[in-house]
């Protein structure tokens, strides 16, 4: 049995909200459902990009958060009246919050779902593009894991490509943790 997925985990491994985490993937989450879920269909795995992929924008956010402090040393907007200086600062933080919120939403809702019947890939690109692809487990022909680069090897995340026989030939889960274990689980399920 793959060590990523355990059908009936012992109660000690479960967290208080009846779902538990194991190496970056949500396994059998009780509180996560999706709108096209069939009656009786059980969500086995919810896969998001590895948390390391968020470090770039979080780091940028922290820098931009404190960047206005540099105005004390370099008074670039000192020529503006006081009210306009306040407006510039408010505008700066509004843009920053919008950027961080947008990045979080993109990470949080770009997920791969493995159920006991199919795999579903949910992609939200930016604000205006949504793509939802699904394939039945018995239509899965080939599962390929791709792990390139030192960071991916170090933190053990990568791309998982699922080749299917259906209309949507390829489903791709980007930067998911433990792609090998997820690939093994899919091979066992089909």
Partner 1 sequence: MENFEKIINFFLSLSFWSVTKLVALVAILIYIVFTFIVIRQVSAMTEFITSPINFYLKLMAFLLFGVSVLVFVSCLLFI
Find out whether 172 and 160 touch, Cβ atoms under 8 Å. Answer: yes
Task: Please give the size of the binding site for partner 1, defined by CB under 8 A.
Answer: 29
Q: Which of 62, 105, 165, 170 binds partner 1 (CB under 8 A)?
A: 105
Give 62 or 86: the residue with its C-beta nearer to partner 1.
86
| Angle 159-139-49 from CA coordinates, rounded to 5° | 20
Least Å distance, CB 125 to partner 1, is 11
Residues in the chain: 190
Per DSSP, the three-state class of 159 is strand
Query: Does 130 interact with partner 1 (rule: CB under 8 A)?
Result: yes
Q: Are 116 and 41 in contact (CB under 8 A)?
A: yes
CA gap 138, 147 in Å, rounded = 25
Nearer to partner 1, 95 or 146 (CB): 95
125 near partner 1, judged by CB under 8 A: no
Site residues, partner 1 (CB under 8 A):
17, 31-36, 81, 83-84, 87, 90-91, 94-95, 97-98, 101-102, 105, 108-109, 111, 122, 124, 127-128, 130, 132
């Amino acid at each position: 049995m793959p060590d990523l997925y355990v059908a009936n985990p012992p109660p000690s491994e479960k967290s208080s909200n009846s779902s538990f985490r194991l190496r970056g993937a949500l396994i059998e989450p009780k509180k996560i459902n999706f709108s096209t879920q069939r009656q009786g269909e059980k969500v086995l795995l919810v896969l998001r990009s590895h948390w390391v992929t968020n470090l770039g924008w979080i780091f940028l956010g922290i820098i931009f958060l404190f960047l206005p402090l540099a105005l004390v040393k370099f008074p670039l907007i000192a020529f503006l009246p006081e009210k306009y200086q306040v407006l510039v600062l408010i505008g700066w933080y509004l843009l920053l919050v919008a950027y961080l919120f947008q990045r979080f939403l993109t990470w949080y809702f770009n997920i791969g779902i493995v159920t006991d019947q199919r795999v579903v890939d949910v992609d939200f690109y930016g604000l205006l593009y949504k793509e939802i692809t699904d394939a039945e487990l018995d239509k899965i022909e080939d599962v390929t894991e791709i792990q390139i680069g030192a960071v991916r090897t170090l933190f053990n995340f990568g791309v998982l490509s699922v080749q299917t026989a259906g209309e949507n030939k390829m489903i791709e889960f980007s930067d998911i943790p433990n792609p090998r274990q997820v690939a093994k689980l899919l091979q066992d399920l089909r």
